[in-house]
Amino acid sequence: MKDVSRSASQFERAILALGETIAWERRSGDDGNTALGKGAADFLLSVHRRMPDFLRPPFHILVLVFDLWPLLRRGRFFHQLPLDDRLAELDTWRRSRLEIRRRFVEFYVSLGVFSVYSDLYGRDYQYGELPPGEQARS
């Protein structure tokens, strides 16, 4: 999680941190499986690049606001927070009274979780039953 490219923009750093946090939240038992977070972040970035052009600027701004938000209370951007603080921040947004904050988290978490489960269980898409006891993985 500390190998964020120096050339990455603030937006990309925020998305990477979001992807890592979503992956961690879903698969907290898989210590060190940073590939899941990276995969989720790559997916979120791919979706962002493809979304309707009139949605892209507002979503870009929302991600930056999300990244900036903890600066007031925690003194750091979201992408600079340790994982536990990121999880707490995600929960704060999830329970927010502001609909736009709840929707933001719903949108990115659902896409991120879809990506994480695609990495974990891509084998499900292949034809033929899994051998007994095999844990399906892509």
The reply to whether 92 sits near other proteins by the rule CB under 8 A is no
The reply to whether 23 sits near other proteins by the rule CB under 8 A is no
Contact 11, 64 (CB under 8 A): yes
- Provide the minimum distance between the beta carbon of 109 and other proteins in the complex, in angstroms, as a whole number: 7
The reply to whether 62 sits near other proteins by the rule CB under 8 A is no
Q: Which residues contact 71 (CB under 8 A, 6 or more apart)?
A: 77
Of 8, 35, 55, 100, the one binding other proteins by CB under 8 A: 55
DSSP classification of residue 8: -
Of 24, 43, 78, 104, the one binding other proteins by CB under 8 A: 43
Buried b / exposed e over 1-15, threshold 16 CB at 10 Å, is eeeeeeeeeebbbbb
**What is the C-alpha to C-alpha distance for residues 104 and 115, in angstroms, rounded to an integer?**
17
Of 47, 64, 65, 83, the one binding other proteins by CB under 8 A: 47
Q: Exposed/middle/buried for 53, CB within 10 Å: 0-12, 13-18, 19+? A: exposed
Q: Quick one: tokens of 54?
A: 């009139």
Of 35, 51, 61, 71, the one binding other proteins by CB under 8 A: 51
The reply to whether 104 sits near other proteins by the rule CB under 8 A is no
Residues of the shown chain interacting with other proteins in the complex, contacts defined by CB under 8 A: 26, 43, 46-47, 50-55, 94, 99, 102, 106, 109-110, 113-118, 120-130, 136
